[in-house]
Amino acid sequence: MRITCIIIVTLMILPWFSCTTTPESVPLAFISSVDPHSYSRPDEVSVYHIDLFLSVDFEKKSLYGLARIHYNIHKPGAALILDIGKGLEIEAIKDDSALEAVYRFGEEDDILGRSLEIEIEEHSGFVEVHYHTNQDAAALQWLAPEQTHGKNMPFLFTQSQAILARTWIPLQDSPSVRFTYDARIVVPGGMLALMSAQNPVQKNESGEYFFQMKQSIPSYLMALAVGDLTFKELGESTGVYAEPGMLEKAVYEFAETEKMLQVASGLYGDYAWDRYDILLLPPSFPFGGMENPRLTFVTPTILAGDRSLTSLVAHELAHAWSGNLVTNATWNDFWLNEGFTVYFEYRIIEALYGYDYAEMLASISMQDLLDEIEILTSSGQLEKSSLKGQWDGLDPDEGVSPIAYDKGYFFLLRLEALAGREAFDGFLKKYFADHAFLSIDTEYFIEYARRNLSIEWSDDFIDNWVYGQGLPDDIPVVSSNRFNAVDRELKNWLTGKKPNELETENWTSHEWQHFLRQMPDSIDAKDMRQLDEVYAFSESENAEVFFLWAMQAVKANYKIAFGPIETFLMQTGRRKFVLPLFREMKKHQHTAGLAEILYHKARPNYHYVTANAVDALFVIGS
């Protein structure tokens, strides 16, 4: 039976979930159109809970078992439509009376995979999909023991965002659909399994683990990791998981996590996910971090030894509000996740480490944004610079760019300036409270903001910021005193001061990053060597600093750094570093050949997300 209720929204937007039979009976999404990256039709039949029973086979590199999919029917007679990605093979589908269900697949699409349409009875409640994954399942990365720190056991981790959850679980793979889940995962004895859920804190010999996620989440936050992992508490509600040999280093680096959690809750309302733990992954993890609820996944490239790169933890923590609690309804609305999170991240950093630290981060954001606009302009793709994305028919991973993150951040900074900080903080707190566990789109947000934020709204203002290309004229100006001091020293060096005479005392990793990033292209290998002799950049263990040094080394043909660059590219799979470094190497005759050889060697170490992005360079660019 279709149950409807009315949501009072004075918008031209159809909340597709007007009312459901989920335990909460609340609306779940405000979305003005269908999600172009999912075949599912949650307006007709929507998934609200999944029971997952999976075994992990490291030899076959396969997950196998079943997913029991619980749904609500909003349109009698409609089929349940799930998304099935490459690498997920269906074995059987049974209805809730254990009878074979009738099902059919749609046509395969390279990006979206295919639809799975299952016929369901009007009063039925769930289906069981029996399946296994094969080596094409792009969310899964299977690491051999030698690719881990301990080198004793293999490792498995998932990366579901944006639309890869469908490669390891049959589900409605749209961020506009939220569900709870329970899972039973069986792994080889002596290994620990972890999920984006309530987690165990120690291994058991049977290898059988149970998980529960009581808060509803979108599919891209489904996560699993299996390895030789151990746990240590950081504070009352926070802790870290890592391979045994990396644990103490991680504990030191993330020591301020509990404080961050308190600051974040103080800013925008109670933390909704009970615990906040961090899982330190092996270096092939393709991102800096992934905000899987209750258990952020992070790259070891933020272990700088001096806690200088932990703003990334603030970022992932901020996602517990922006993204995980209030979610972009489609990937075209990605800035709602990331722009808010960058804004929130800088506010946490400001509260913890002071305004001048946050100012440096804002300046980096501006630099990243200007660089991106330049790339889009020179490649004739400026249409990709509007906040509201247009990724229909394209891989939504392309939307992971400074437009969503930094242009989104500057839009919110502009709103803050217009409203005043106090009023804007009140607005954000209300926004998170009003939309907790909901997915919304850009149009809904704009209407909500117009009703709740007392500033002068004009259609031009919205068009310029949200739908317009390039940068609006009223983009906030950012300036950092600490970076200005770096600029002066850089100028001194370029005009003849020796590297060891530069005033770099008390410089943090961010000042060094700025110094390296501002170095002109005209510097040559001899200049690089002078700097290297004093500051040992080629041996830097700070991945951000080393990456920027490597980019300069490639431009300047500074061969001394090529060995460390090779080691870095072989070990690190973080796309943010790997992609631009290979792109730069391909650009120069003196490194183009080396890039080919290195990529061939390093590619097997990369997750699909990274390999997929870099592949394009070697096909199109060669």
Alpha carbon distance, N-terminus to C-terminus of the chain: 58
Choice between 338 and 372, CB closer to Zn ion: 338
What phi and psi values does residue 318 have, to the nearest 5 degrees? -60, -30
Q: Shortest distance, CB of residue 336 to Zn ion, whole angstroms? A: 11
Strand order in the sheet with 29-30: 29-30, 438-440, 326-328
Task: Provide the CB-side half-sphere exposure for 4 (13 A, CA).
Answer: 10
Choice between 27 and 288, CB closer to Zn ion: 288
Q: Shortest distance, CB of residue 244 to Zn ion, whole angstroms? A: 29
Q: Shortest distance, CB of residue 405 to Zn ion, whole angstroms? A: 7
Contact 506, 542 (CB under 8 A): no
Residue, CB closest to Zn ion: 341
291, two tokens? 């905000």
Q: Shortest distance, CB of residue 378 to Zn ion, whole angstroms? A: 26
Contact 114, 84 (CB under 8 A): yes
Q: Shortest distance, CB of residue 402 to Zn ion, whole angstroms? A: 12
156, two tokens? 């498995």
Choice between 338 and 544, CB closer to Zn ion: 338
Contact 607, 141 (CB under 8 A): yes
* Bond prior to 162 in cis (omega within 30° of 0): yes
Give the residue numbers marked as catalytic.
316, 405
Q: Shortest distance, CB of residue 26 to Zn ion, whole angstroms? A: 26
Contact 282, 148 (CB under 8 A): yes
- CA distances to 222, 314, 332, 339 from 412, in Å: 28, 18, 18, 7
* Gap between the Cα atoms of 212 and 393, Å rounded: 35
Choice between 53 and 271, CB closer to Zn ion: 271
Single-letter amino acid, residue 18: S
Name the residue with tokens 């999170």.
341
Q: Shortest distance, CB of residue 289 to Zn ion, whole angstroms? A: 7
Q: Residues 292-331: x/- map of binding to Zn ion (CB under 5 A)? A: ----------------------------------------
Neighbours of 85 (CB within 10 A): 24
Choice between 227 and 339, CB closer to Zn ion: 339
Q: Residues 324-363: x/- map of binding to Zn ion (CB under 5 A)? A: --------------x--x----------------------
Q: Residues 522-561: x/- map of binding to Zn ion (CB under 5 A)? A: ----------------------------------------
487, two tokens? 């600029």
Beta bridge partners of 295: 277
Q: State the pairing for strand pair 155-158/140-143.
A: antiparallel
Is 178 strand, coil or helix? strand
Choice between 341 and 480, CB closer to Zn ion: 341
Choice between 154 and 218, CB closer to Zn ion: 218
Which residues here bind Zn ion, judged by CB under 5 A?
338, 341
